[in-house]
Amino acid sequence: MSLPYHHAVDLSEEPWSEPLPGHPRSEELVEVWQNTYADIAPAGPLQIGGYADEEAVFTDPVADAVSTVVKAVEVGRWDGPVSDDVSDWVLLADWQAGMDVQGWESATVHWVIQREDLAARRFDRAFTKVFWNP
């Protein structure tokens, strides 16, 4: 079980962010989840599905990855059709490298995939993005 740690979406103009669509009490949900998740779903280095862990307080790592893959398509570094609608994508896996990868301590790898690719088991269409806070 997991819930989103993030509670806002970025906007291109003021007020610069707003609560998650459909979740007007998302900040409260995030606070409750942060206070209880360790007793319900202890964190581990690898998570399959669900919502991304740790750094995702103010942003959604899936939305960040979708933005990156859309740009990769525009410059010819990724093939095939991709949706720029975040709701068409899901987190496939989340791995916290921790101290396991020298030089990338504190890095987290997020694998995202379009829902239709997941349903068709086209795992070669998964996209990987690394979050690193050195």
Three-state SS string over 77-101 comes to CCCCCCCCCHHHEEEEEEEECCCCC
Q: Higher-confidence residue: 29 or 69? A: 69
How many percent of the chain have pLDDT more than 90?
Answer: 30
Global model pTM greater than 0.75: no
Query: Mean pLDDT for the chain?
Result: 81
Contact of 65 with 112, CB cutoff 8 Å: yes
Which tens digits make up the pLDDT trace of 44-68? 677 788 777 655 556 688 888 999 9
Other CB atoms within 10 A of residue 60 CB:
21
Q: Select the highest-mean-pLDDT range: 8-12, 33-37, 52-56, 65-69.
A: 65-69
Among the listed residues 60, 56, 78, the one whose alpha carbon sits nearest the alpha carbon of residue 69? 78
- Specify whether the CB–CB gap between 110 and 94 falls below 8 A: yes
pLDDT in tens, 92-110: 998 887 777 888 877 888 9
Sign, Cα dihedral of 71, 74, 79, 81 = positive
Rounded Cα–Cα distance for residues 79 and 82 (Å): 8
